Structure 1
Amino acid sequence: MRYIYTLAMFLVTPLLVLRLLARGVRSRPYHRRWPERFGFFDAPGFSGSLWVHAVSVGEVNAAEPMIKALRRDYPNAPLVITTVTPTGTARVHQLFGDSVFHVYLPYDLPYSVGRFLKKIRPRLALIVETEIWPNLYFACRRRGIPLMIVNARLSERSLRGYKPLRALLRSALRCVSVIAAQSRTDAARYRLLGADPQQILVIGNMKFDMPIPNGAVAEGAAMREHWGARRPVWIAASTHEGEELAVLEAHLQVLKRLPDALLLLAPRHPERFRVVEHAVRSLGFTTATRSVDRVPSPSHQVCVIDAMGQLMPFFAASDVAFVGGSLVPIGGHNVLEPAALSVPVLVGPYTFNFEEITASLIHQGGAARVPGGDRLGPEMLQLLLDTGRRERMGQAAQQVFERERGAVQRIMQLIDAQLQE
């Protein structure tokens, strides 16, 4: 099975290169550093590194408190962070600058993986959330590199998608020393995928340990003063294609009752910033953008947040947050950022990427679910009109966030044990 998988990877490699080129048309960073995806880069010249793999922005954000703990507890160990997407790369540089060595994770080809491991020479590999690459895992075992999956999650959809490769993945997962699962449900799915139950521990979600950026609350308050402190404001964060139109239609409904309301609209992917801005303007909204106007004025109806890694101050400045990727079958995004700031949350029907967190927030009254885009406007309007309900939801959301903290400390204990072994 492994040989068939590897042959298939070789056969699709030309398509992967074409995909990189095609993505580069829309986003220039895809053109740069593409040899790294085959393990070609200048060796950093160190050994005994601690290697963290976080595929994109969400995983980098989740790993931030753990990476900071690694830097604190192992100040002499070189730290390597790999990502797959340019947005993830940008977030790594924004958070850590030159204090870490960043390189793209190579495709799961034996020679590419071998070159990569030979150059970074890790003494521990930490894979964040759900990245199971058989050749990479087998190569780590062959070289005696302990491998941990931290903040491990596995959606029902991913479990179904892995079914044809289950025998191969079972063997790959046996290369892993520890699977630190986010929840009991995730742990059960890893067992179904073939992981040894002795490997699996339920640790909790590192995203509950994420730090609130210094000054985010103060910056949010300053923005509110600029555009009008009493003005109704809601944010649609991490939206995808197929969601912005529903969000803008919801805002039209809000404006009919609350004509001074402001929508903060943050598309998930940078290559869609201009497209979304054009759509907003074409519908007749008076529009600001983060890149040009910095902060919307009292006359603006919509502000497009065309910048990465700057959502926390905007969450802090909002009365209600809608978290995207949930009106379309993407699976939803991080509901904990607004929850940490006591902001009530709305989500759509598709939240399988954050299943238990979202369910917990809804159950405790910190979030509510809308069945589809047509209900977003009425529910948002109802919340914006009901100050008492917003305050109760915000307090409940913040209580859930505080109650679940501590996963990073538990993961660091597991890391310490691995390194001592």
Structure 2
Amino acid sequence: MRFLYTLLMYLATPVIVLRLLTRGMRHGSYHQRWPERFGVFPAPGLSGSLWVHAVSVGEVNAAEPLIKALKRAYPQAPLVVTTVTPTGSERVRQLFGDAVFHVYLPYDLPFAVRRFLHRVRPRLAIIVETEIWPNLYFACHRRGIPLMIVNARLSERSLRGYRPARGLVRAALRCVSHVSAQSRTDAARYRMLGAPSDKVVVSGNLKFDMPVPEHAQEQGEALRVQWGPLRPVWMAASTHEGEELAVLEAHLEVLQRFPDALLLLAPRHPDRFRLVEHLVRNLGFSAGTRSGDRVPAPVHQVFVIDAMGELMPFFAASDLAFVGGSLVPIGGHNVLEPAALSRPVLVGPHTFNFDDITQTMVQQGGAQRVASSDALGAAVLQLLRDRPSLHRMGERAHAVFDSEQGAVRRVMTLIDHTLGE
């Protein structure tokens, strides 16, 4: 099975290179750094590094408190952080600068994996959330590098997706020292996938331990002063194709009741920023953008946040937040960022990537689920009309965020134990 998998990876290499070239037409970093995808980069002269892999922006944000804990606990150990996407790479740069060594994770080709491990020489490998690459896992096991999956989550859809390669995945998971799952449901699914039961523990979600930016609240209050502190403001964050139109239609409903209302619209992917801006303007909204206007003006009805890593002050400046990826079957995104700032959360029906967190938020009264795109405007209006309920919902969202903290401490205990063996 592993031989067939590796053969397929080699056969797919020309397609992979073509994909790099195609994406490079939109993102220059794909052209500039494509050798990293094959393990080719100047050796940084590291030894005994602690390596953390986080696929993209969401995983990097989740890993932030853990990486900072590693820096405090092991100040002499070099830290390596890998990502897959340019947006993840940019987020690493924003958060850590030169304090960590960053490269892209190589494709799961044996020669690329060998080159990568030879150059970074990790003492410990930490995979954030769900990235099961058999050749990488086997290579770590052969070299005696402990490998942990932390903040591990596995949706029902992903579990079904792994079924055709269940034997190979099971063998790869036997190379893992610990699977630190977000929830009991995720732990059970990892066991079903083939992870040994004695290696699977529940540590909670690292995102509950994410630091709220020091001045986020103050920055949010400053923004509100500029556009009017009594102005109704709601935010649609991490939206995907098929959601922006629904959000804008909901905002039309809001404007009928609150003509001075403001929508803060943050598309998930940078390559859609301009497209979303054009959509907003073509529909006749008075619009501003983060890149062009910096902050919303009183005349703006919609403000497109066309920037990465800047959502927290805007969450703080909002009355409530809709979290995208949930009106379309993407699986939802992180509801904890607005909750950390005591903001009520609205989500659509598709939240399978964050089932337990979202369900807890809904059950505790900090989040509300809308059944469809058509129901979004009414839900936003209901909260904006009922300020006492809006504030209670925000307080309950923050209470959930507070009550679930401690995952970093539990994961660090596992890491200390693993490194001490």
1:127-152 CA-to-partner distances (Å, cap 9, x unmatched) read 00000000000000000000000001
How far, CA to CA, are the matches of 1:25 and 1:350 in structure 2? 32
Does 2:73 correspond to 1:73?
Answer: yes
Correspondence 1:12 to 2:12: yes
| Pair 1:244 & 2:220 matched | no
- Partner of 1:285: helix, strand, or coil? coil
Which residue of the partner structure matches residue 219 of structure 2?
219
Q: Give the Cα–Cα distance (whole angstroms) in 2 for the partners of residues 181 and 348 of structure 1.
A: 25
The aligned counterpart of 2:333 is 333
Classify the secondary structure of the residue corresponding to 2:32: coil
Q: Distance in 1 between matches of 2:21 and 2:315?
A: 35
Residues 165-207 of structure 1: CA deviation (Å, up to 9, x unaligned) = 1000000000000000000000000000011000000000000
Question: What SS class does the counterpart of residue 126 from structure 2 fall into?
Answer: strand
What's the counterpart of residue 45 of structure 1? 45
Name the CA distance, whole Å, in 2 between partners of 1:193 and 1:151. Answer: 16
SS of residue in 2 equivalent to 1:346: strand
Which residue of structure 2 aligns with residue 228 of structure 1? 228
Distance 2:98 2:27 in 1: 23
Cα distance, 1:21 vs structure 2: 1.7
Deviations 1:264-306 (A, max 9, x none): 0000011110010011000111111001111111111000000
Give me the whole-angstrom Cα distance separating, in 1, the residues matched to 2:404 and 2:59: 18
Q: Secondary structure at the match of 1:26?
A: coil
Query: What secondary structure is seen at the aligned counterpart in 1 of 2:25?
Result: helix
Look up the match of 1:108: 108
Letter of the aligned partner of 2:333 in structure 1? H
Which blocks of at least 5 consecutive residues in structure 1 are unaligned?
A: none
**What secondary structure, in the 3-state scheme, does the structure 2 residue paired with 1:81 have?**
strand
Deviation at 1:31, TM superposition (A): 1.9
Residue 35 of structure 2 corresponds to 35
Within 2, Cα distance between the matches of 1:256 and 1:26?
39
Task: Give the deviation of 1:26 after TM superposition.
Answer: 2.4
2: CA distance, partners of 1:46 / 1:148: 20
Deviation at 1:253, TM superposition (A): 0.7
**1:149 counterpart SS class:** strand
Deviation, structure 1 residue 45: 0.5
Aligned to 2:254: 254
Q: Distance in 2 between matches of 1:251 and 1:393?
A: 21
What one-letter code is carried by the residue in structure 2 that aligns with 1:402?
D
Q: Percent identity, please.
A: 73
CA deviation vs aligned residue, 1:302-341 (integer Å, no higher than 9, x gap): 0000000000000000001000000111100000000010
* Equivalent position SS for 1:236: strand
Count of residues in correspondence between the two structures: 421
Correspondence for 2:386: 386
TM-score by length of structure 1 reads 0.99
Separation of aligned partners in 1, 2:114 and 2:171: 19
Equivalent positions of 1:323-402 (< 5 A) are: 323-402=323-402
Q: Deviations over 1:332-360 (max 9, x none)?
A: 00000000100000000110111100000
Over the residues paired in the alignment, what is the CA RMSD in angstroms? 0.6
The equivalent of 1:309 in structure 2 is 309
Structure 1 residue 57: Cα displacement: 0.2
* In 1, Cα distance between equivalents of 2:413 and 2:123: 16
Residue number in structure 2 paired with 1:136: 136
Q: Take 2:162 and 2:362, find their aligned partners in 1: how far apart are those partners?
A: 29
Tell me the amino acid that sits aligned with residue 167 of structure 1.
G
Match of 2:88 in 1: 88
Q: Identify the residue that residue 205 of structure 2 maps to in structure 1.
A: 205
- Partner amino acid, structure 1, of 2:348: G
Could you state the TM-score of these two structures normalised by the residue count of structure 2? Answer: 0.99
Q: Which residue of 1 aligns with 2:296?
A: 296
CA positional deviation for 1:27: 2.4
The superposition leaves residues 97-121 of structure 1 with CA deviations (integer Å, 9 ceiling, x where unpaired) of 0010000000000000000000000
Q: Give, as a single letter, the amino acid of the residue that structure 1 aligns with 2:120.
A: I
The equivalent of 1:150 in structure 2 is 150
Moved over 6 A (4+): none
Question: 1-side partners of 2:397 and 2:21: how far apart?
Answer: 42
Instruction: Give the Cα–Cα distance (whole angstroms) in 1 for the partners of residues 355 and 32 of structure 2.
Output: 35
Unaligned 5+ residue runs, structure 2?
A: none
Paired with 1:22 and 1:377, the residues of 2 have a C-alpha distance of: 38
Which amino acid in 1 is paired with 2:225?
Answer: E
Q: Distance in 1 between matches of 2:344 and 2:22?
A: 39
Q: In structure 2, how many angstroms separate the alpha carbons of the residues matched to 1:119 and 1:167? A: 30
Separation of aligned partners in 2, 1:402 and 1:289: 33
What is the CA–CA distance in structure 1 between the aligned matches of 2:354 and 2:15, rounded to whole Å? Answer: 31
Q: 2 CA distance for matches of 1:335 and 1:27?
A: 28
**Distance in structure 1 (CA, Å) of the matches to 2:143 and 2:11:** 26
